[in-house]
Copies of this chain bind each other. A is one copy, B any other.
Amino acid sequence: MSYDLILRGTAVLPDGPVENAWIGITADKIAAIGTGDAPSAAAVHDCGEDLIFPGIIDGQTHACSYGGLPGIRSTTRSAIAGGVTTIVDMPYDNPAPLNDIARLTDKVTAIQQHAHAHVALYGTILPGQSPEEVAPLIDGGVVAFKISTFESSPTRFPRIASDQIFGIFNALAETPLPLGVHNEDQEIVRAYIAAAKAAGHNGIEAHSASRPPAAELAATAQFLELGASAGAHAHIVHLTTARGFQLVDNYLADGFRATGELCVHYLWFDPDRDGQELGARMKVNPPIRPGQIDALWEEILSGRVAFVSSDHSSWPIDNKFTDSIFDAGAGVPGLETLLPAFYTAADERGLDAASLTAEQLCERPAKFFGLWPQKGAIRIGADADLAVVSLTPQTWNAQTAHDELRWSPFDGRRFNITVSRTYLSGQLAFDGKAVLNQPGDGRYVRRGPSHWFE
């Protein structure tokens, strides 16, 4: 027996890191895992003491919000450079969202043409559509659906009324697919923004206050109850406070399917500390709130966070340079920083950063989106998607990042690790310097049979 490739290093296996390990790859699969001397192989890549993670899965990416479907190219290139081998892309593409089979076909075609990394897809339903239209999209392989209770764009990111939300939940009730929500109450947010503007507030410090926790929590509570009424899986794509996770937990305790997700920037930034420096560069919705970081880590450690994602958006920086914070675009680039940022934040708290990373950025999103067991862990028979990091500290430099956006809220921040290699489908796709693989090497990934809830 001879493998196509043997990769050597410290493998972060499901039970924990194993030093002096090797991973045998045949074609695009992990065929064997061992320790000590390795069998023969066509090629051997020795990563020394670097940590070999399963390929990172970003459960929340907006690849096409700005540049449309071709945005897949730069986004997935950035992903690969960040050790992210699979993105779960949101449906709010420019100029129109993924809401029917034609658009799904177009997007799959674009993936085949542009993708450096694997891509799984969220679908959505627009106002006026029948909830039954989820069926062909499910057949087409989407992994989840998403809607918003707040309108960011009437055509691309519209508010979905509660009757339609309930309709979609009913259509999904017999399936394992979650319906995710951008959870902000439109009436409260619009009223508070109007009040802030009327009062002449226009800096980043006004942003969090203009979208108070009540706006987020009221939308969350309503959405969870609609999901419970239908018996479907309700998922909150970002919660910014511990109260949100308590709400989700109450639904679990009552026997319903409910989950909540966290994005890595909520674990890193605090407007009271970082607002003056970052301004609109830390504007996301729902906003990062003051003084939440410790409580959110508690939620992770108590197991109440489904997984952690990037919520990556490829906005050009011009989108942020506005006179008023309320005119600035919301969202930040984050794919390339997801892995080092999460690992570093855990490490700085004295936690077992390797295991937490494998759990929150690999295993949990894989199970959540039906990608398990092909993805999400270094295990026999799994896809040979791998992220390798060296324990070399670095200072993040947005100018040299591979998304070519040349800005990031993490610019100048210190990370404890550096992504040294990324393997996609058994091929070296990033060598620590350059993205080596080609557009189209990434594949469209369909939802499989794994379930989050039994």
Binding site for B on A (CB under 8 A): 1, 11, 13-16, 18, 21-22, 24, 26, 29, 31-40, 161-164, 166, 185, 187-188, 190-192, 212-214, 217-222, 224-226, 228-230, 243, 246-247, 250, 254, 373, 377, 379-381
Cβ of B218 and Cβ of A162 under 8 Å apart?
yes
Of all chain B residues, the one with the shortest Cβ separation from A373 is B15
Which 8 A/B pairs are nearest by Cβ-Cβ distance? A32-B34, A39-B39, A163-B191, A214-B229, A221-B225, A222-B222, A221-B221, A161-B187
Cβ of A229 and Cβ of B247 under 8 Å apart?
no
CB pairs A–B below 8 angstroms (5 shown): A15-B373, A24-B34, A31-B37, A163-B188, A163-B190
How many copies of the shown chain assemble into the complex?
4
Of all chain B residues, the one with the shortest Cβ separation from A224 is B221
Q: How far is the CB of A355 from chain B (nearest CB, A)?
A: 13
Cβ of B225 and Cβ of A214 under 8 Å apart?
yes
Of B21, B22, B250, which one neighbours A254 at CB under 8 angstroms? B250
Q: How far is the CB of A396 from chain B (nearest CB, A)?
A: 33
A192 to B162, CA, bound (A): 11
Of B22, B39, B224, B379, which one neighbours A13 at CB under 8 angstroms? B379
A229 to B289, CA, bound (A): 15
A214: B residues at CB distance < 8 A: 166, 225-226, 229-230
Cβ of A36 and Cβ of B40 under 8 Å apart?
no
Of all chain B residues, the one with the shortest Cβ separation from A163 is B191
Of all chain B residues, the one with the shortest Cβ separation from A11 is B380
Cβ of B36 and Cβ of A26 under 8 Å apart?
yes
Given A24-B34, A32-B33, A190-B163, the answer on whether A229 and B217 have CB atoms closer than 8 Å is: yes
Of B31, B162, B185, B230, which one neighbours A34 at CB under 8 angstroms? B31
Cβ of A222 and Cβ of B218 under 8 Å apart?
yes
Of B22, B39, B380, which one neighbours A40 at CB under 8 angstroms? B39
A192 to B40, CA, bound (A): 67
A191: B residues at CB distance < 8 A: 161, 163-164
Q: How far is the CB of A27 from chain B (nearest CB, A)?
A: 10
A162: B residues at CB distance < 8 A: 185, 187-188, 218
A266 to B330, CA, bound (A): 47
A102 to B164, CA, bound (A): 41
A382 to B164, CA, bound (A): 53
Given A162-B185, A187-B161, A187-B162, the answer on whether A1 and B225 have CB atoms closer than 8 Å is: no
A161: B residues at CB distance < 8 A: 187, 191
Cβ of A188 and Cβ of B166 under 8 Å apart?
yes
Q: How far is the CB of A260 from chain B (nearest CB, A)?
A: 14
A212: B residues at CB distance < 8 A: 166, 229
Of all chain B residues, the one with the shortest Cβ separation from A363 is B15
A246 to B13, CA, bound (A): 34
A250: B residues at CB distance < 8 A: 250, 254
Apart from A1-B40, A13-B379, A222-B225, what are 6 other A-B pairs with CB-CB below 8 Å? A13-B380, A24-B32, A31-B35, A31-B36, A33-B380, A250-B250
A229: B residues at CB distance < 8 A: 212-214, 217-218
Of all chain B residues, the one with the shortest Cβ separation from A166 is B214
A29: B residues at CB distance < 8 A: 35
A373: B residues at CB distance < 8 A: 15-16
A243: B residues at CB distance < 8 A: 228
Most buried by B among A163, A164, A185: A163
Cβ of A15 and Cβ of B188 under 8 Å apart?
no
A163: B residues at CB distance < 8 A: 185, 187-188, 190-192
Of all chain B residues, the one with the shortest Cβ separation from A36 is B31
A16: B residues at CB distance < 8 A: 373
Q: How far is the CB of A352 from chain B (nearest CB, A)?
A: 11
Of B164, B220, B380, which one neighbours A35 at CB under 8 angstroms? B380
Of B35, B220, B226, which one neighbours A381 at CB under 8 angstroms? B35
A254: B residues at CB distance < 8 A: 246, 250
Of all chain B residues, the one with the shortest Cβ separation from A38 is B1
A377: B residues at CB distance < 8 A: 15
A191 to B230, CA, bound (A): 16
A217 to B223, CA, bound (A): 10
Q: How far is the CB of A127 from chain B (nearest CB, A)?
A: 11
A164 to B214, CA, bound (A): 12
A35: B residues at CB distance < 8 A: 29, 31-32, 380-381
